[in-house]
Amino acid sequence: MNDDKLRDLAVNEKVMGIGRGSKKKQQRQYLILAMLQQPTFQKAAASIGISEVTAWRIRKTPEFRQEYLEACREAVSQSVGRLQQGSCAAVSTLLKIMADANVAPSTRLQAASRILDHAKGAFDLADVELRVHRLEQIAQGQKDDGERAA
């Protein structure tokens, strides 16, 4: 492994808590990191110095599946966070284009359409979140009632 990969692994080891536990657990965690960083499964196995067969066996375990899913969720969550940081600038750009009389009408129309599409999407998402929250409250109330009756 080159120095950059070792440095990346060292940082990620701290984040994932690698270094504590069995050899199998360490291999599993290294494979998860490698799969998040490499374009193919084969390259991930090679990057951490294990055979494809060993990596395949590790991938088939329930522990790997659960930990990999959690790592993917965390990676996506971080990416979404970065996108959210840039969303204000993106909205400002769309609004400037839409309002700029010197911009071609077709471009202004496209900016306006994008703004409306995203606003509707945000509204729809908020609506679904509210509905799910209400259903969860109802389900929790029914669960609490069932526990009291028992």
What pLDDT digit, counting tens, does each position of 60-107 carry? 999 999 999 999 999 999 998 998 899 899 999 999 999 999 999 999
Cβ–Cβ < 8 Å for 111, 98: yes
Residue 22 has pLDDT above 90, yes or no: no
Q: Which two tokens stand for residue 105?
A: 């009408």
Q: Copy the structure tokens of residue 23.
A: 């050899």
57 & 107 share domain: no
Structural domain that includes position 28: 3-62
Dist. CA 86–CA 26, nearest whole Å: 36
**Do the domain assignments include residue 93?**
no
Total domains, the chain = 2
Average pLDDT, the chain: 86
32-36, 136-140, 144-148: least confident range: 144-148
The sign of the dihedral angle between the CA atoms of 51, 53, 54, 60 is: positive
Q: Using CA atoms, how far apart are residues 59 and 62, in angstroms rounded to an integer?
A: 8
Residue 119 in domain: yes
Looking at the domain assignment, is residue 90 inside a domain?
no
Distance between CA 108 and CA 143 in Å, rounded? Answer: 52
Q: Which of 86, 50, 41 is nearest to 68 (CA)?
A: 41
Domain assignment present for 123: yes
Q: Is the pLDDT reported for residue 19 higher than 60?
A: no
Terminal Cα distance for the chain, rounded: 59
| Segment (H or E) for 17 | none
Residue type, 46: A
pLDDT of residue 137: 94
- Indicate whether 80 belongs to any domain: no
Q: Report yes or no on 84 lying in a domain.
A: no
